[in-house]
Amino acid sequence: MQCKKCRKEIPENSIYCLYCGKKQMAEPAKKAKKRANGAGSIYKLPGRRRKPWAAAVTTYKNNVRNTVIIGYYGTEREAAFALANTDVKRISPEFNSTLEDVYNIWSRTHFKDLNESSVVGYEVAWKHLESCRNKKMRDIKADDFQCVIDNLIEKGRSRSTCNKIRILANQLSKCAMEHDIKQKNYAQFIKLPRTDKTKEKEIFSKKEIEILFQHKDDTTAQIILTLIYSGMRIGELFGIENKNVYLDKSYMIGGEKTEAGINRIIPIHQKILPFIRKWYSDKNIYLIPNSKGGMKNIRNFREREFYPFLESIGILSKDNHRLTPHSTRHTFASMMVQSNAKPELLQKVIGHENYETTVDFYTHFTKEDIDEMVAQVNAI
């Protein structure tokens, strides 16, 4: 054949002229190496891109075919290397899910079995993970979670708050592993600040309790005093049903869904008995219902009643919410200790998780046991 430019003879099917370098024909396309079935695929995306090579895997779920992109790479070799180091059989359609996607998957099923108080706790913890929400779950490492924790510590947040975030991160990581999105739980490596054992729990003083009794005609004051003299969590009080209130025997049965807390005996102190009598009604399911007869909302009570009321009577200031609804529980425990209550009795009354018995222990109480609990509570 002759060169198109210099007209000199060159070998047949030459791509370039040996003499002038003129290109004679297009380079033949490289035949892609066929990969084994189920081994994934590599292809080049059109246009000018920094990372034009894509590695992908085809998955099937409920007989629906899905193409999952493993990643994008600068060269075909890098894409092949990434695919070779990926356990293709473990790739699921949720492989590229973000942390927020995993949270939505997890919460849809997990929240069904939780009470409102626990759900609120997880929702608050989730807000703190905002910086990680749009990251792919498979790319999130321990440092991402730890960074959130460290920032909160710098802002003075409590160890308890940090621990709730760790618990949520751990739950989401386990959920991701169940759906083959991740193969390792990095949340288990989160480090929390050491407990400050010298820091005392904030409790209501005797003077503040006296102020509350001065406003005992107010429903909010009655609820706060009931929490103080029963040791119940706020969610436990709002979850008490009228059918579980025994006014003649001065106790209620209730508690949250924990091994030590559920279905426990809650003595009714004489000082709050008038409030319980006032609320008790066969017409309602709950002892303290909302306006529609359902369970009272914890968050609304905290923000719209608890803090505003304590500010209005001078116990709290807007700039210093040193007392929280949980402070009522600490106050009860403190008063019980001061009245020389037996440690095991205190654990039974407040439903501490470290109480040794993990069965429905209230069914094993004798009448003498209940009478002793009621008498001990009334001694504070």
Q: Which of 22-31, 38-47, 110-119, 324-333 has the lowest mean pLDDT?
A: 22-31
Q: How many helices (H) and strands (E) does the chain have?
A: 14, 6
For residue 214, what pLDDT is reported?
96
d(CA 237, CA 296) in angstroms, rounded, equals: 9
Mean of pLDDT values over 235-248:
92
Band of residue 338 on the pLDDT scale cut at 50, 70, 90: confident
Nearest residue to 221 (alpha-carbon basis) of 266, 280, 286, 274: 274
**Helix (H/G/I), strand (E/B), else coil: 337:** helix
Report domain 99-189's class. mainly alpha
Res. 258: pLDDT tops 80: no
Mean of pLDDT values over 126-152:
90
Rounded (10°) angle between helices 327-338 and 219-228: 50
List residues bridging with 266 in a β-sheet.
252
Question: What is the dotted CATH code of the domain comprising 206-378?
Answer: 1.10.443.10
Band of residue 15 on the pLDDT scale cut at 50, 70, 90: confident
Q: Where are the beta strands (DSSP E) in the chain?
A: 41-44, 53-61, 64-73, 245-246, 251-254, 264-267
Residue with structure tokens 């993970």? 129
For residues 284 and 278, the answer to whether their CB atoms sit within 8 Å is no
d(CA 204, CA 213) in angstroms, rounded, equals: 13
Res. 321: pLDDT tops 80: no
For residue 169, what pLDDT is reported?
94
- Digit-coded pLDDT (tens) for 87-108: 766 676 777 889 999 999 999 9
User: What is the pTM (predicted TM-score) of this model?
Assistant: 0.54
For residue 67, what pLDDT is reported?
77
pLDDT-above-70 percentage for the chain: 84
Res. 263: pLDDT tops 90: no
Band of residue 334 on the pLDDT scale cut at 50, 70, 90: confident
d(CA 240, CA 314) in angstroms, rounded, equals: 30
For residue 363, what pLDDT is reported?
33
- Digit-coded pLDDT (tens) for 178-230: 887 888 899 999 988 775 544 556 889 999 999 999 999 999 999 999 999 99
